[in-house]
Structures are given as structure tokens and as C-alpha cells.
Structure 1
Amino acid sequence: MYDTILVATDGSESANRAVEQALDLASMFDAELYGISVVDTRRYGDSMLSDSSGVIGDLADNAEDILAEIESRADVDVTTTVRRGRPHEEISSYADTIDADLIVLGNRGLGAGGEIGSTAERVVRYLDRPVLTA
């Protein structure tokens, strides 16, 4: 049913639930598992960070650590990438690149309150692929 699964994570609680779902599904369907974490500099203000490669580097290092944890927990091989930009656009672009059959992500990210987060809402609304939110 699913040959290629993409899980997007920012390390939030709901993203961790999504990772659990993606790991289970990849194992169940013997699917290729891909992980993406997007450094969203808009959250901190691009103008503030544009001259600060150290801060961006720290954010990218954190994203790498989050993805490394997925790799260590997976029963299947995981291919990971860290990207910089608008999260829903980077998730969409990567999903197209790998021809993902399913995208799994948290329904709220680090900055979201009690409602669905903007990234999850945009992914569900604009991507022409099945999406599972957790």
C-alpha cells in the first residue's frame, strides 16, 4: 500500500507522535522511510538571522539530532535531510523528489497553540498526496 513514506519533524510532541506512526507504518509495509526537518528561519525573522550563520548552524545541528534519533529507532533504513525555508514548501518539494506515497507529520508544531498548526494545515490543504497527522 505504501512504498515510500515521508515523516516531517520539528521535535515537537505531536511530531514525535507522527514519527512513531511513520516508524510503525514503514515496518508494517516494509516501506522506504524518509525523514525531513526544516529550519524555518521565518519563525525567528530572516533579517535577524541572515548574517548569523552560527544561529542557523545551531538550528540545523538540532534538526540533524532530531533526525538521527529517528534513524536509531527505525527497523528500516531511513534517509534524512535537513532543509531551510518555508516548511510546507520544503516538505512538498521533498515529497515530489522521492515520490512519497504518504506524508506523516504532527498536527501542531513547536509554535502552535491548541489548534492545528500552520504547517500541517498547509500540507493537508495544498499537497496532492495522502497525509496523516498525529
Structure 2
Amino acid sequence: MYETILAATDGSEPAHRAVDHALDLASTFDADLHVIYVVDTRRYGESMLTDSETAVADLEAQAMDLLRDTEARADIAVTTEIRNGRPHDQIDAYAEEIDADLLVIGNRGLGAGSEIGSTAERVVRYVDRPVITA
């Protein structure tokens, strides 16, 4: 049913649930699993990050640690990707590149609140492929 699954993470609890769900689905369907982390340059001030290679490097190092942890927990091969920019745009672009059959994303990210998060909402609304939120 699914050949290529893309999970997005930001390190939040909902993202951990989404990645765990994606791992289960990929194992069940013998699908390729990709996990993406997008350094949200809007969250930290795009102009600040553009001028500060150190800040971007630190955020990318945190992302790499998170993705390595995901690989270590998996009993299947996981392809990881780190991108910078607007999360929903980068998730969509990477899904297109790998021709993902399914996206799995947390229903909320690092921001507070009980409603669906803005990134999850944008992915559900604008990405032209099936999406599961966890």
C-alpha cells in the first residue's frame, strides 16, 4: 500500500508519536522511511539566522542528534534529511523529491496550545498527498 513514507519531526512529543507511527507503518508495509527535520528560520528570525552561521550550525547539530536517535530506535533503515526554511514548504518539497506516498506529522509542534499546530495545518491543507497526524 505504501512504498515511501515521510515523517516530519521537531523533537516535540507529538512528533515523537508521529515518528513511532511512521516506523510501525514502514515496518508493516516494508516501505522506505524518510524522516525530515526543518530548522524553522521564521521561528528564530530569518535575518538573524542568515547572518549567523554559528546559530544555524547549532540548530542543525540539535537536529542531527534527534535524527540519530530516531535511527537508533528503528529496526529498519531510515533516511534522514535536515532542511532550513518554512517547515511546511520544505516538507512538501522533500515529499515531492522522494515521491512520498504518505506523510506522518505531529498534530502540534513545539508551540503551546491544544489546537492543531500551524505547520500540521498547512501540511494537511496544502500538500497534495495523504497525511496522518499523530
Length-normalised TM-score, structure 1: 0.97
Unaligned runs of 5+ in 2: none
What does residue 30 of structure 1 align with?
30
The answer for unaligned runs of 5 or more in structure 1 is: none
The RMSD of aligned alpha carbons is 0.8
Q: Name the counterpart of 1:3.
A: 3
Whether 2:62 is the aligned partner of 1:69: answer no
Letter in 2 for 1:130: P
Note the C-alpha offset of 1:46: 1.1
Letter in 1 for 2:2: Y
Write the deviation string for residues 58-117 of structure 1: whole angstroms up to 9, x where unpaired. Answer: 101111111111111112111111000000000000000000000001000012411111
Q: What is the letter of the counterpart of residue 119 of structure 1? A: T
2:16 corresponding residue in structure 1 = 16
C-alpha distance in 2, partners of 1:27/1:13?
21
Q: Which deviates further from its counterpart, 119-128 or 47-56?
A: 47-56
User: 2: distance between equivalents of 1:75 and 1:2?
Assistant: 18
**Aligned positions of 1:54-133 closer than 5 A:** 54-133=54-133
CA distance in 1, matches of 2:44, 2:77: 33
For 1:96 and 1:125, the matched residues in 2 are separated by 16
Distance 1:120 1:75 in 2: 26
Runs of 4 or more off by more than 4 Å in structure 1?
none
Task: Please state how far the C-alpha of 1:45 moved relative to its aligned partner.
Answer: 0.8
Percent identity between the two aligned chains: 68
**SS at 1:50's partner residue?**
helix
CA distance in 2, matches of 1:38, 1:27: 24
1:37 Cα deviation from its structure 2 partner: 0.2
SS in 2 for 1:90: helix
